[in-house]
Structure 1
Amino acid sequence: MFFHYLKFFLFHLIGLVSLIALILGGAAISYGLLLIFTAYIVGDAILGEDTSTPEFKQPQILTVQLWLALPLLSLIVFTAIWTVSPGDPLQYGQLIQDLTGYDALAARDATAWGHHFSAFVITGLMIGMVGTITAHELTHRTWDPVSMFVGRWLLAFSFDTIFSIEHVYGHHRYVSTTEDPATAPRGRNVYNHILLSTVKGNLSAWNIEKQRLAKRRHSAFSWRNGVIRGHLMSLFLVALAYLIGSLTGMLFFLACALWGKALLEIVNYMEHYGMLRNPQTPVQPRHSWNTTKRVSSWAMFNLTRHSHHHAAGEVPYQDLKPYPEAPMMLNGYLSTIVIAMIPPLWHRLMAPKVLAWDRDYATVEELKLAREANARSGIKRLVEANRSSLYDV
């Protein structure tokens, strides 16, 4: 039973690998990035599925380890900014040398630009994985002020504190409908989705907060507005990045934060692409793409069990069921992210899965929506599929 608690600490290990790689500098950063990709992609490929549903009698352990993501991510991001900063902010390099004997400053100064690019990729990944994925779980716990505090600060690293508003009160209500900014229609490519979902998500969060405050007779333009407070939190981190690493450090942090934000939208894209639902009908497990890949499940707090999560958003991650009969995404999360970033490959692989969803899961009403979505998609295979008798409803 102890193992089932321990497996969810895998994300701490991945974060520590990233931190050590950034400190070592040079080629170690690129090797660290390669190790992380290998762990996720190869691990999911060879270690199979996790469909276990253990009972956790000490859930507080699994909550505290979520909170630990904030100091871990803060240290990773500070180290990343330090790698491009002039001087030695907070005498960090000297401290590392005093503690370990390793000349981190010399290694940093000798790091080639290609390895700095790896530092950008790995830092954005950690903002997305250690930050946003953890915050996703925490900000669903609207009854717990500590979890909400930690979750919103984790989201501030990707300029996405509005996620705690739009995702919980918007996305979960409208998922798989045209009203949901995070659900990509058939035929949309991931890069358009990143932009459109970001803009529409911010507008949705603003409207949700505006309506909430109006019920309490407060102006939307006040400190009570969570959208305003959240963006100020992100601006505070930008200012800190400038104080730590001057203009170079600030720009590097901005790039990493935007990459982390893009990762969230890529994940939204692959979790809900092409799904259809009448907003008047309840959300069911068949309205999200699911996966039971072992490494992705352990390192991402069962985010992989997305079908159950959307059917019952208040259920803590450790209690989510695998739903192996739900519609399955292409592979584990990192593998699917890579595929999504290559639109021709994505559409080639997803077209048959979308059509299989229509055949195996769609109601008569959803088949009517599917026919319309196929016609609008611009994807040849989807458009031609409309000739099938399946859509004669």
Structure 2
Amino acid sequence: MNALHYLKFFLFHLVGLFAIAAILAGGAWITLALITIVSVYLVGDAVGGDDTSTPTLNHPWILTTHLWLALPLLVLLVFAAVWSVSTTDFAGFGAALSQLSGVDLLAARESTSIGHHFSAWILTGLMIGMLGTITAHELIHRTWDPISLFIGRCLLAFSFDTVFSIEHVYGHHRYVATPKDPATAPRGRNVYTHIVKSTIDGNLSAWEIEKKQLARKGKPVFSWHNRVIRGHLMSVLLVILAFAIGGIAGMLFFIACALWGKALLEIVNYMEHYGIVRNPATQVQPRHSWNTNKRLSSWTMFNLTRHSHHHAKAITPYQDLRPFPDAPMMLGGYLTTIVIAMCPPLWHKLMAPKLLAWDRDYANAEERELARQANASSSQPALQKATA
């Protein structure tokens, strides 16, 4: 057994533990941790190259344990974040940890400025996206495993997005790269519009999917059988717990972090599928998603980066996903691409040639016509000029 191929996925947990330690330390440590994590990803993916290996791993239980450990890690991180903005010391947590560590965490919390609390919001939302949504994305595809499904939905509750376990599996994977898919942004749409529209349409889609499934089973829509309702109640419970731990300030802070975590999911959806077109009657192929094989992103995000293979065969466990180096490639690693996507003028400037290359090199004849229509209505001069 090559231990490295198992240990590399623990880098994910080290990032989470580092964030927890910084939030508890308070003050400038929070901002420093945020800058460090973002910098490591940006630089690491830039200089670390691609990982195109697909080793055979014979102990899948270790790899599943990696995923399951994300739940207690996220619980601890969110607890620390809510505690960090509280004016009380819930259950004497800070006093006990101060005595154990020899660091006065209560005094550090009191001296934390608004600016560093802002950094804590960015960092916590980022961790909800990484520890919660990325892990949940893998777990909710394991529809044969009730434990993984339950843990996945618990993780998604932290971003108010348990409906993702319905819409993503039964909607997105069916309609990806078509107008019926809320997660696929058409050419010319900016990421901020996409966050709002994809969130609304994704919830509506999940409700319709669940309503049809309940009808087939003869179950009432407005009942405990409805996973949409149960899922939202899970998020409500977390809001109540945040209030119990941190009062009004803690509750509002958690809500802000959860919404930021949800926004990150939609940004990732945006950059994974932006502008790609497909006839719904044709099978999903690796060319219908943007891919990347950046080493650091792959190792710390359970190979979410290998998105082309994931969409070609969704039930493939993360450790078995192939790199597909000939698939259409993103602008960089995941965090790099997120940063670029959040600057619409830069995003559209850099993506226009990539879309035109996709039309030329990947699209079949039918898709080229769909792409031509998409370019014409994109409002992007570079795309419209190419169409003309």
TM range (shorter): over 0.9
Match of 1:297 in 2: 298
CA offsets 1:130-171 (integer angstroms, 9 cap, x no match): 000000000000100110111000000000000000000000
What are the residue-to-residue correspondences of 1:17-166 with 2, within 5 Å?
17-166=18-167
Shift of residue 219, structure 1, vs aligned partner: 1.4
Separation of aligned partners in 2, 1:90 and 1:173: 47
CA offsets 1:4-62 (integer angstroms, 9 cap, x no match): 00001111000001000001100000000011001111100111110011000001100
Match of 1:231 in 2: 232
Shift of residue 254, structure 1, vs aligned partner: 0.3
Identity of aligned residues (%): 68
Separation of aligned partners in 1, 2:236 and 2:302: 28
Write the letter of the residue equivalent to 2:339.
V
The TM-score with structure 1 as length reference comes to: 0.98
Separation of aligned partners in 1, 2:317 and 2:88: 44
Separation of aligned partners in 1, 2:217 and 2:103: 57
Separation of aligned partners in 1, 2:49 and 2:197: 35
Separation of aligned partners in 2, 1:75 and 1:34: 21
CA offsets 1:341-391 (integer angstroms, 9 cap, x no match): 00000000000000000000001100111111001100000001112xxxx
Match of 2:248 in 1: 247
Match of 1:194 in 2: 195
Shift of residue 98, structure 1, vs aligned partner: 1.6
Separation of aligned partners in 2, 1:46 and 1:367: 35
Shift of residue 218, structure 1, vs aligned partner: 1.3
Match of 2:266 in 1: 265
Separation of aligned partners in 1, 2:193 and 2:379: 15
Match of 2:313 in 1: 312
Match of 2:183 in 1: 182
Shift of residue 119, structure 1, vs aligned partner: 0.3
Task: Please tell me whether residue 5 in structure 1 is matched to residue 3 in structure 2.
Answer: no
Separation of aligned partners in 2, 1:317 and 1:11: 14
Separation of aligned partners in 2, 1:106 and 1:87: 12
Structure 1 unaligned segments of length 5 or more: list them.
Answer: 388-393
Number of residue pairs aligned between Structure 1 and Structure 2 = 387
Separation of aligned partners in 2, 1:86 and 1:111: 12
Separation of aligned partners in 2, 1:266 and 1:379: 20
Separation of aligned partners in 1, 2:201 and 2:375: 23
Separation of aligned partners in 2, 1:163 and 1:359: 33
Separation of aligned partners in 2, 1:219 and 1:204: 18
The TM-score with structure 2 as length reference comes to: 0.99
Match of 1:364 in 2: 365
